């Protein structure tokens, strides 16, 4: 009846030995993975004092008979692989057959298990790796593993455990990943007797994300179109433009059903979001990757946390493309709610003499005359009343649903970026000849880069010629950057673009050049009057991606009236 076999020595050594139990979180992870491998529909987790006093994981899975309950505590006893070549096809979570014996050797350990068809179950008690008792017992079907006093027999390791809060945060973060990887399984988790997670079985990943992190979090994500390539499929949820965090705790990557750390994934996300996310933020994501087992080496890390991919480039490319298309789709969806808001509110009133007075909470009546606007193309700026300027160049607007602060500089950058890209795509070179051409010197690597990208630079308005050695002749600059010192300008742009990423080829290089031009050109303070301000709003709202500057800063911050009510405690 036993399902477990002891691996041959040869196979055992193919499965590199390693420390499985780093900290309580790794314990929880191993035990929960065993439960999932056992086909559990529900898993109950409990821990105390950051997991150092107690970790208990119970499931309603297939359970074990008496023989297996004892065998599973022997090193390299696993029911999941038999010979080394199986390693290449591993789909289950565990496969090393070393978690339970490792855990049992460094704790006071109790295993209670029963197969659903059996009349009774088995209890095995182990301390420091030595079996203390085995007995028959009446328990519900499934398995419970209880680990008390982790490292009690290794005081040096026990001292290395961090504070309870830290260990607890690791446990919860690990469970979040596991729960996202298995939406169809219910999870309950109690910490020091208090419920910290209660996740019913979810119909879909979206529901699981909502149950875990809330509807607001789900709304920050957009489901990507499933994509596939040779040997892999991609799916899941990626951040809408502007939705990121300073840490990577909300970047979940699930490979073949297992939450992993995969540095190969970070680069394409970073590059794809370069213009949709503030620098220093990491886009939120729950990325699902299904990959042929032959292309993944999941036996690199003893806790199976890191995996090595055999062909990371194809995957990187696919993730980059998927993220780009999510961003493109999100911007269409995002523009609509603003532009399709109810009838236009009254036109704005703007105190030209003293713009600081424009920030007023009173409703100001509309003026008698309005500039006529062609009915075919409604002016999107009409959706907002322009109330004034604060802090020099933040415009204050009131819309149907709330108040908007608009950063005139970031907006200017976005508008200029899209205008220049449009001109480039149409083959216009937005360039202005210098009266006297200038010869500059560049460091060797920058010079080489310029020589490789002459066409891109020229398309963007830099009329340059390599001029022997490390020198360069500049004959014209982009119109929007006219008046700047050609040498420093080019130097700045080349160094910004050179470091902007490898995945951006062709149009991507031009985008990077234009992004830099726009950033430098829009760096000055907004000094406009009402007419300029309205034009800025209109042009921004007509942009394809109005919510972020091309370097990823937000252009607008919105405060809905509901949010204001909440902040003032009006509630409802």
Closest contact distance (angstroms) between CB of 53 and ligand ADP is: 21
Q: Out of 100, 442, 457, 459, which residue is the one contacting ligand ADP (CB under 6 A)?
A: 100
Whole-number Å distance between alpha carbons of 461 and 478: 4
Q: Note whether 497 binds ligand ADP by CB under 6 A.
A: no
Whole-number Å distance between alpha carbons of 523 and 22: 49
Residue 438's φ and ψ, nearest 5 degrees, are -120, 140
Contacts of 472 (CB under 8 A, 6+ apart): 439, 440, 441, 442, 447, 450, 464, 465, 466, 490
Q: Note whether 94 binds ligand ADP by CB under 6 A.
A: yes
Residue 79's φ and ψ, nearest 5 degrees, are -95, 5
Q: Note whether 34 binds ligand ADP by CB under 6 A.
A: yes
Q: Note whether 79 binds Mg ion by CB under 5 A.
A: no
Whole-number Å distance between alpha carbons of 167 and 151: 14
- Residue placing its CB nearer to ligand ADP in the complex, 47 or 417: 47
Per partner kind, with CB cut-offs from 5 to 8 A, the member of ligand ADP, Mg ion, none near residue 65 is none
Whole-number Å distance between alpha carbons of 361 and 519: 33
Q: Out of 25, 28, 54, 99, which residue is the one contacting Mg ion (CB under 5 A)?
A: 99
In 3D space, the residue among 119, 114, 103 whose CA is nearest the CA of residue 151 turns out to be 103
Closest contact distance (angstroms) between CB of 94 and ligand ADP is: 2
In 3D space, the residue among 212, 213, 214 whose CA is nearest the CA of residue 187 turns out to be 212
- Residue placing its CB nearer to Mg ion in the complex, 36 or 186: 36
Task: Fill in the per-residue mask, 138 to 157: x = in contact with ligand ADP (CB under 6 A), - = not in contact.
Answer: -----x--------------
Residues 44-83 that bind ligand ADP (CB under 6 A): 59, 61-64, 72, 77-80
SS3 category, 350: coil
Closest contact distance (angstroms) between CB of 70 and ligand ADP is: 10
Interface size with ligand ADP, residues (CB under 6 A)? 24
Closest contact distance (angstroms) between CB of 29 and Mg ion is: 9
Closest contact distance (angstroms) between CB of 143 and ligand ADP is: 4
Distances from the Cα of 9 to the Cα of 15, 20, 38, 74, 76, angstroms:
10, 19, 25, 13, 9
Closest contact distance (angstroms) between CB of 99 and ligand ADP is: 3
Q: Note whether 355 binds ligand ADP by CB under 6 A.
A: no
Per partner kind, with CB cut-offs from 5 to 8 A, the member of Mg ion, ligand ADP, none near residue 430 is none
Per partner kind, with CB cut-offs from 5 to 8 A, the member of ligand ADP, Mg ion, none near residue 79 is ligand ADP
Q: Percent helix, strand, coil in the chain (nearest 5)? A: 35, 25, 40
SS3 category, 2: coil
Burial 443-481 (b: 16+ CB within 10 A, else e): eeebbebbeebeebbebbbbbbbeeeebebebebbbbbb
Q: Note whether 34 binds Mg ion by CB under 5 A.
A: yes
- Residue placing its CB nearer to Mg ion in the complex, 95 or 384: 95
Closest contact distance (angstroms) between CB of 82 and Mg ion is: 16
Q: Note whether 102 binds Mg ion by CB under 5 A.
A: no
The residue assigned the tokens 């559990």 is 40
Q: How close are the terminal C-alpha atoms of the chain, in Å? A: 62
Per partner kind, with CB cut-offs from 5 to 8 A, the member of ligand ADP, Mg ion, none near residue 168 is none
Q: Note whether 111 binds Mg ion by CB under 5 A.
A: no
Closest contact distance (angstroms) between CB of 34 and ligand ADP is: 3
Residue nearest to ligand ADP (CB): 94
Whole-number Å distance between alpha carbons of 520 and 522: 6
Q: Note whether 244 binds Mg ion by CB under 5 A.
A: no
Contact 338, 399 (CB under 8 A): yes
Q: Note whether 546 binds Mg ion by CB under 5 A.
A: no
> Could you list the residues that contact Mg ion (CB under 5 A)?
34, 94, 99
> Could you list the residues that contact ligand ADP (CB under 6 A)?
3-4, 30, 34-35, 38, 59, 61-64, 72, 77-80, 94-100, 143
């Amino acid at each position: 009846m036993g399902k477990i076999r002891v691996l041959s020595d040869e196979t055992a050594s193919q499965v590199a030995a390693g420390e499985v139990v780093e900290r309580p979180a790794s314990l929880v992870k191993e035990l929960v993975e065993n439960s999932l491998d056992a086909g559990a529909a529900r898993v109950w987790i409990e821990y105390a004092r950051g997991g150092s006093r107690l970790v208990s994981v119970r499931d309603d899975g297939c359970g074990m008979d008496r023989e297996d309950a004892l065998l599973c505590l022997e090193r390299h006893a696993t029911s999941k692989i038999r010979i080394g070549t199986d390693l290449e096809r591993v789909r289950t979570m565990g496969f090393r057959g070393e978690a339970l014996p490792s855990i049992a050797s460094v704790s006071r350990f109790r295993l209670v298990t029963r197969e659903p068809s059996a009349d009774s179950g088995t209890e095995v008690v182990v301390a420091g790796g030595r079996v203390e008792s085995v007995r028959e017992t009446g328990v519900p079907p499934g398995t419970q593993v209880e680990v008390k006093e982790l490292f009690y027999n290794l005081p040096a390791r026990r001292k290395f455990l961090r504070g309870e809060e830290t260990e607890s945060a690791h446990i919860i973060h690990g469970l979040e990943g596991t729960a996202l990887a298995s939406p169809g399984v219910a999870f309950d988790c109690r910490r020091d007797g208090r419920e910290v997670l209660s996740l019913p079985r979810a119909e879909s990943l979206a529901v699981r994300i909502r149950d875990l992190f809330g509807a607001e979090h789900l709304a920050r994500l957009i489901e990507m179109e499933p994509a596939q390539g040779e040997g892999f499929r991609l799916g899941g949820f990626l951040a809408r433009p502007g939705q990121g965090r300073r840490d990577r705790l909300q970047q979940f990557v699930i490979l073949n059903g297992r939450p992993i750390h995969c540095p190969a994934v970070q680069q394409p996300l970073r590059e794809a979001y370069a213009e949709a996310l503030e620098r220093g933020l990491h886009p939120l994501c729950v990325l699902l990757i299904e990959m042929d087992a032959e292309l993944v080496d999941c036996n690199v890390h003893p806790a199976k946390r890191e995996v090595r991919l055999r062909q990371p480039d194809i995957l990187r490319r696919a993730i980059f493309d998927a993220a780009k298309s999510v961003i493109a789709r999100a911007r269409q969806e995002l523009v609509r709610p603003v532009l399709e808001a109810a009838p236009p509110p009254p036109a704005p009133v703007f105190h030209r003499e003293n713009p600081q007075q424009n920030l007023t909470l009173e409703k100001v009546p509309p003026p008698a005359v309005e500039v006529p606007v062609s009915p075919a193309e409604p002016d999107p700026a009409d959706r907002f009343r322009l109330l004034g300027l604060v802090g020099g160049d933040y415009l204050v607007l009131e819309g149907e649903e709330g108040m908007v602060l608009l950063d005139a500089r970031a907006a200017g950058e976005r508008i200029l970026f899209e205008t220049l890209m449009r001109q480039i795509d149409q083959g216009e070179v937005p360039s202005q000849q210098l009266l006297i051409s200038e010869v500059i010197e560049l460091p060797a690597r920058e010079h080489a880069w310029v020589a490789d990208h002459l066409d891109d630079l020229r398309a963007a308005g830099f009329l340059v010629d390599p001029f022997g050695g490390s020198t360069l002749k500049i004959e014209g600059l982009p119109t929007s950057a006219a008046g700047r010192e050609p040498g420093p300008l080019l130097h700045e742009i080349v160094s910004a673009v050179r470091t902007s990423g490898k995945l951006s080829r062709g149009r991507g290089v031009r985008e990077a050049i234009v992004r830099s031009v726009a950033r430098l050109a829009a760096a000055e303070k907004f000094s406009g009057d009402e007419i300029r301000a309205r034009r800025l709003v209109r042009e921004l709202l007509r942009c394809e991606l109005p919510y972020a500057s091309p370097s990823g800063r937000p252009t607008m911050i919105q405060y809905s009236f509901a949010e204001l009510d909440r902040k003032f405690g009006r509630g409802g």
